[in-house]
Structure 1
Amino acid sequence: MPPRTHTQATISHRTQDALFSRVHGGNLVYNTCWEDPRLDREMMNLQPDSRVVMITSAGCNALDYLLDGPAQIHAVDMNPRQNALLQLKIAMIQRGHFEDIFQLFGQGSHPQFKELLEELKPALHPFASRYWKAKNYYFRASSLNPSFYYRGTAGQMAWIALHTFLGSSKVRDYMDALLQASGVEEQKRLYQHIKPVLWSGLVTWLIRQPVAMTMLGVPRAQVRLIETQFQGGLTGYIRSKMEHVLTEIPFSENYFWRVYLTGHYSKSCCPNYLREEHQATLQQRVNRITTHSTTVANFLRENPGDYSHYVLLDHQDWLAAHKPQALEEEWKLILENSRPGTSILMRSASPVIDFIPEFALERLKVDTELADRLHPMDRVGTYGRTLLAHVQA
């Protein structure tokens, strides 16, 4: 097959970008957060006067941060469906009844969700109420789709990937054994046994499909970063990260990956907002979270303030590739709305974060020692780099 021409590549890239915008503009993408809040909280050191601006994602981590007692958390997301998910979690926590909370978000289904939704309606934003009424089947277990955690685009991709892997009886046996593994030594032994089957040609092919990355929330800009900066490209990157997760991090506490393998959490392996011992604290504090369906830059324009923490996830990878002026504007607004010592936490698909504007770097003190020490402990394990910086006077 002859190589693609420049024109063909350009058309392909535009198509991928249009697909990404369409998927993210009209769907719930993330049904669970894909960043480890245990490390975030150690890096941020939240205090009673902390005022946090963060990207919502699935809202799990905003609730986790509340356990450290910050004064305010502003959860910002361009996708109102992500905020609707956090609003649903907040309304359920305010309502109480832990078993219903765990049934809904721990098991990923609830047979009386329609009735619950009617009860929660006064506590939900109008958009959230309409959205969950239309998507009430997301929490309906069926033989075709047993769990909310296989809903949304990331969840649908997890379901496809899981069943691709499960085509092999050896992989099914491996996953069962992995879920019961007593520690990393047993995990390593299991992985070496299954490695040739796990990385079959079919799985490698699936990983390289643009639609797969789009559904997982990975834009082409991040794929390009990986392809150009990681030996082995996208396939090598994912294989390396998966090997780290499967052989270096205790799987018994890795609720991020377990939920996609099983479709549910357990009460001993779940996000903190689903632990019964935290419900009273969360009930007292959830009114400290406000949601905003807009960009980080627009939020800061409309809500100027003296914020102490920013959690930017990895969205600046996309801004750097597609909207460099918007990237500069966002950093300008972040610095204008910060105090000396303000912490900024972000992640990237790249092992090197080199796109922060020079004027911003002049105001930042980057804490490479702490971030680099904690990065390998991340239970998600899929990012190339974690960056922690503090604003200087």
Structure 2
Amino acid sequence: MNLTVSRRLGDAFFRFVHGSRLVYNTCWEDPRLDRRLLALGADSRVVVITSAGDNALDYLLDDPAEVACVDLNFRQNALLELKRALFCRASFKELFTFFGEGGGPSCAATYARLRRHLPAYAAAYWDKNIAYFKGGRLSRSFYHHGASGAAAFLFTRLLGLLKPGLRRELPRLLAAGDLAEQRRAFDAVEPVFWDRLSRWLVARPALMALLGVPRPQIALIRDSHPGGLEGFVREKVRRVFTETAMAENYFWRVYLTGRYALECCPEYLKEQHFETIRERLGRLTTHTDSLSGFLARHPGPYSHFVLLDHQDWLANHDPAALAEEWERIFASAAPGAKVLMRSAGLDVSFVPEAARRRLTFFPEVTEALHAVDRVGTYGSQHLAVVA
């Protein structure tokens, strides 16, 4: 197939995935690092890309004045609104059934009770998709629905069916008591895991699109890493499973098992934080819009901007929109505002030069924290202060 046609088809599939379904059912950025870097306080006004909303809820634990969640995909905001309704109108046990266990037989009745408290668009979405939380032995977990969840389900199910030895070893890896035991368990798993099938799956642009990785980011990874995409993924997986404790790495646990554990889950799902988050949810808002559109309509000033990695895509596909976004950020930034970004690449070359001149970066801080990132799938993270 002609390379240009292949790229166009890949880009079209990515746009279809992101324009027609829930993409992220959990946040894939480590909020423990975010909260250290952002240093939120009582005067903080935060703008964050919604994604699954988990990290925005975690930010409330630092008592900010405002958390504005912005996403072009209304389904992501509908997900956060469902979480809000559970905090405000349900019990911790019901919240954990939905988002800790990934669903259960009681979820339909709980939803029927609280749906009237959802915004109309969110209720319309969940009316059609509440079966994601059906639970039970014959049903997929919520965390195996949506685009990224479907990719995780496909990957783990294929490996489980074709490699029964891997299915036996994974529980031992997740239950390891210390890093030494964990490394031994991973050394036993890695040769079984990383064979021709796994390499073929990782190389599929369609799988990457389901996980939310567009073609420009794939190209950025290939160009930035000496081992290309396969080498990047292999290195990141090994680092995560041999250098971060699985006992607290809820990011990988949920995709491998379809659920969290009470002792291994996001902060927003811990019972000791339930009442605090419930009391502060009035400070959190959701907005279905581009970041530029939101800032044009709600100009701030804001003290913090959490941009995830979406500028990787803008830098390649729409430099004019990227330049406009930075102008909106600068126009809406309070003095000394912080901007937190992640990238598939290794540096800040995705930030336009004109914007870089107005920012001060702190690589000595972010590089040290990036080394202990429990997710481990980004090439870099960057903290900047607006000059």
User: 1:29 touches 1:215 (CA, 8 Å); kept in 2?
Assistant: yes
Question: How far did 1:116 drift?
Answer: 1.9
Residue 337 of structure 2 aligns to a residue in which SS? strand
2:298 to 300, 303, 309: 303
Give the count of matched residue pairs. Answer: 386
Separation of aligned partners in 1, 2:115 and 2:191: 50
Map of 2:27 onto structure 1: 33
1:135 to 121, 129, 136: 129
The alignment status of 1:115 with 2:109, answered yes or no, reads yes
Deviations along 1:113-147, one digit per CA (max 9) or x if unpaired, are 23222221232110100100100110012545331
Deviations along 1:14-54, one digit per CA (max 9) or x if unpaired, are 00001100110010000000000000000000010100000
The alignment status of 1:313 with 2:308, answered yes or no, reads yes
User: 1:111 touches 1:140 (CA, 8 Å); kept in 2?
Assistant: yes
1:283-362 equivalence runs, <5 A: 283-362=278-357
Separation of aligned partners in 2, 1:201 and 1:352: 31
Map of 1:151 onto structure 2: 145
Map of 1:72 onto structure 2: 66
Separation of aligned partners in 2, 1:68 and 1:159: 34
Map of 1:366 onto structure 2: 361
Letter in 2 for 1:329: E
Map of 2:191 onto structure 1: 196
2:384 to 383, 389, 393: 389
1:256 to 251, 259, 272: 251
Letter in 1 for 2:168: D
Residue 377 of structure 1 aligns to a residue in which SS? coil
Is 377-386 or 90-99 further displaced after alignment?
Answer: 90-99
Map of 2:77 onto structure 1: 83
Which structure 2 segments of 5+ residues have no match? none
Map of 2:233 onto structure 1: 238
Is 253-262 or 166-175 further displaced after alignment?
Answer: 166-175
Separation of aligned partners in 2, 1:246 and 1:288: 37
User: 1:341 touches 1:390 (CA, 8 Å); kept in 2?
Assistant: yes
Separation of aligned partners in 2, 1:377 and 1:266: 21
The alignment status of 1:93 with 2:87, answered yes or no, reads yes
Letter in 1 for 2:116: P
2:170 to 169, 175, 178: 175
Deviations along 1:321-356, one digit per CA (max 9) or x if unpaired, are 100000000001101111221000010001122121
Letter in 2 for 1:385: S
Query: Cα distance 1:174–1:141, how it changes in 2: closer, same or farther (>3 A)?
Result: same
Separation of aligned partners in 1, 2:211 and 2:136: 23
1:31-70 equivalence runs, <5 A: 31-70=25-64
1:213-224 equivalence runs, <5 A: 213-224=208-219
User: 2:97 touches 2:107 (CA, 8 Å); kept in 1?
Assistant: no
Deviations along 1:339-380, one digit per CA (max 9) or x if unpaired, are 221000010001122121222112111011111110011110
Residue 286 of structure 2 aligns to a residue in which SS? strand
Letter in 2 for 1:377: V
Question: How far did 1:84 drift?
Answer: 0.2
Question: How far did 1:174 drift?
Answer: 1.8
Deviations along 1:232-256, one digit per CA (max 9) or x if unpaired, are 1111110000000000001110000
Identity of aligned residues (%): 48
Deviations along 1:137-177, one digit per CA (max 9) or x if unpaired, are 10012545331010001001101110222221221122011
What root-mean-square deviation, in Å, do the aligned CA atoms of Structure 1 and Structure 2 show?
A: 1.1
Question: How far did 1:112 drift?
Answer: 2.8
Residue 176 of structure 2 aligns to a residue in which SS? coil
Separation of aligned partners in 2, 1:381 and 1:183: 19
User: 1:164 touches 1:203 (CA, 8 Å); kept in 2?
Assistant: no
Letter in 1 for 2:82: L
Q: TM-score when scaled to structure 2?
A: 0.98
Deviations along 1:306-331, one digit per CA (max 9) or x if unpaired, are 10000000000000010000000000
Residue 388 of structure 1 aligns to a residue in which SS? strand
